[in-house]
Amino acid sequence: MDLLFILRDALASSLVGSLLTATAARKAGREVGVLFTQEALAAIAQGSFEWPRELCGQEMRLVIADRGAAAGLPLLGRGEGRQLDTKGVVAVAREAGVRMYACPTWSSLLGLEKMLPAGLEPLDTAGLLGLIDGAQRIVGTL
């Protein structure tokens, strides 16, 4: 693997930034993966990604939505309620060929081993170590 992103927080801004960069790298011909761990794993499996305080007001949400839509990103809602669709951004990355993995440690701690969402590849500890060892570049931390 050329590039491995490790996403551990459940901030929508981290998810969007990481996945759009991963998608761009994949479109440039690189083999790319995203490892979901900690609260990011909980959010993608059972919850939601929340915007940080500085990016969550209505005015900012509409600016981000409009600029995202202009760039071809999916939106959720219409009118004054529109916003960038974080689950749609996950789908865009997956469709581009970005592989997505679930951290085995946090899958176990969260009780998600048998409840991972479609498209999220389960790993065991040996698989995780192999993924880390085989990555040419890693962005993020466990």
Mean pLDDT by 10 residues, the chain (142 residues): 97 96 98 98 93 90 92 90 92 96 97 90 97 97 91
CATH code of the domain in which 93 resides: 3.40.1260.10
Domain assignment of residue 97, yes or no: yes
Domains of the chain: total: 1
Domain assignment of residue 129, yes or no: yes
Give the model's pLDDT for residue 17: 95
Number of H helices and E strands in the chain, helices first, is 6, 7
Q: Which helix (H) or strand (E) holds 100?
A: strand 99-102
Give the model's pLDDT for residue 56: 84
Separation CA 105–CA 130 (nearest Å)? 15
**Residue whose pair of structure tokens reads 């007001």 in the numeric block:** 57
Domain, as residue range, for 90: 3-50+86-139
Give the global pTM.
Answer: 0.93
Domain assignment of residue 74, yes or no: no
Separation CA 104–CA 135 (nearest Å)? 17
Give the model's pLDDT for residue 94: 96
Domain assignment of residue 120, yes or no: yes
